[in-house]
Chains A and B, each alone.
Chain A
């Protein structure tokens, strides 16, 4: 395909329209046998060609009387524009675990939504995703948000989303640098 791909103009007209007669359309644009899996399509046209037919024209065309417009192979198969789930936070915190118990843990919270004094909370370990539970120990840092999960269907359930930070490990060079800083502290405070 040497012609310059020019999908956008056509895309605007056919994008996301279900193809009601895929066999006909496939032949028309020389797709080959895409079969019934073909649900959306986009084609590229030469820039100097007359405007491509509207989808409704294609769908209603009779094979022997196809419009005499020259099509080239489709250049782009776009990812279907399916609406994804979106999380809209109402309240966000950053937390640090301060105490762990059998089924719960206590955490100190910093409000990331509105400025405010520090808070503390007791949370159920059940509310932590299973893969994060090994991270729950004093000093561990996590992010916690409460908000709406907006689904493509329009549903908006309220959810709590709690994820622990996977902090990196201490490297030898960091520990060396810390030892140098410790020497400064020892210089001021003395001792052994």
Chain B
């Protein structure tokens, strides 16, 4: 079935133009500008899960804007998951948590450490230096302190985060990571970000590997999805994708794969394609551009195409240049400096199918999203 392309303007209203989701229909949408990603997933019977957050050009969380556009009330969101705290997965997350009062908020168990608490404590009051990841968690802390009785929950490997037996088909969301060893490594990396007395202040630039990401397995009847977050493959057999495959009890081969870490080779484990996914899965990728990094680059794209012929990107990882006055342009040219937009426009890849018909995903591409 050929994908349908739809121009994307935010905000928009799709409620009147699109058929409503049936109770037994599963939908997964991946949103991604040039940097950042978020997922909205229909778990059946009107229940929704949101994973991570990124904001659109109007600084609104993309997933909330989308739900509004298809006429879904935020009270239908039952689960919000923060896979990790890096800026590109967390923009607008506090607003999501605030807007979805019924949702359980689940975060990576690696963020239960005193090192991360200290990081939030250190930078939450310093607006000129805060990273958005730290700032979002500081705001989420304030939200939960004000809402007694609502408590966030940590995700660890093999932990069931949400399930619904009835009405069927049964739906289950389970965390496949992080494991204890990954929490420990994340703790060490976070400790390195903490300043010492008399050390010079600076902004937090998170560069530690994504040991602590929450990989999610979603089963809805016979249909399974694997959402890879940013988990990387490591040289340590106790962590990363190899370790996950050794320990995870998957409900079945997944037909949809949110490709981990923006298609980066350091998150590639060939066994995942063989052991955790069905043949020719639908692979969804949100690009990442940051400094000198561009993912997926041409080699990544080629590698992904070899894995499956159904690779979809939310946006192109290429960035455009902002034009300025001639004197400024001339000076920039003399300096060999070329400022580019940090975040290219938002795109969305949406898949829908009936729960019992896992090989019949209908694809809709919004905005700059495209098929490789």
Contacts and interface: CB of A to CB of B under 8 A. Distances in A.
Interface in A133-192: 137-141, 146, 148, 158-160, 167-172, 175, 177-192
Nearest to B110: A191
Interface stretch (A10-18, A70-78, A113-121): A113-121
B117 A189 contact: yes
The contact size tier of chain A is 35 or more
B197 A182 contact: no
Given A158-B330, A167-B200, A170-B196, A189 B121 contact: no
Nearest to A173: B197
A146 B120 contact: no
Given A141-B128, A146-B331, A118 B342 contact: yes
Given A139-B205, A148-B327, A184 B121 contact: yes
A167 B292 contact: no
Nearest to A96: B203
A96 B338 CA distance: 16
Interface string B76-116: 00000000000000000000000000000001010111101
Interface string A56-90: 00000000000000000000000000000000001
A91 interface: yes
A101 interface: yes
B127 to A, nearest CB: 12
Interface string B317-334: 001001011011011100
Interface in A89-133: 90-91, 93, 96-99, 101, 106, 108-109, 116-124, 127
A170 B195 contact: yes
Interface in B250-297: 289-293
A1 B36 CA distance: 74
B118 A182 contact: yes
- Sorting the interface of chain B by its residue count into under 10, 10 to 19, 20 to 34 or 35 or more gives 35 or more
B1 interface: no
B202 A182 contact: no
Given A121-B337, A121-B340, A188-B152, A169 B201 contact: yes
Given A121-B337, A167-B200, A182-B121, A191 B325 contact: no
Contacts of A168: 200-201
B154 A90 contact: no
B137 interface: yes
A192 B112 contact: yes
A123 B109 CA distance: 38
B118 A189 contact: no
A137 B120 CA distance: 21
B204 interface: yes
Contact of A90 (B112, B116, B327, B338): B327
A170 B201 CA distance: 6
Contacts of B112: 189-192
Contact of B199 (A121, A158, A170, A184): A170
Given A109-B339, A119-B339, A185 B120 contact: yes
B336 A124 contact: yes
Nearest to A106: B291
A189 B327 contact: no
Contact of A146 (B109, B151, B319, B332): B332
Contacts of B154: 189-191
B357 interface: no
Contacts of A139: 129, 202-205
Contacts of B138: 185
Contacts of B120: 181-182, 185
9 contacts: A98-B291, A99-B291, A109-B339, A146-B331, A183-B117, A184-B145, A185-B138, A186-B117, A188-B145
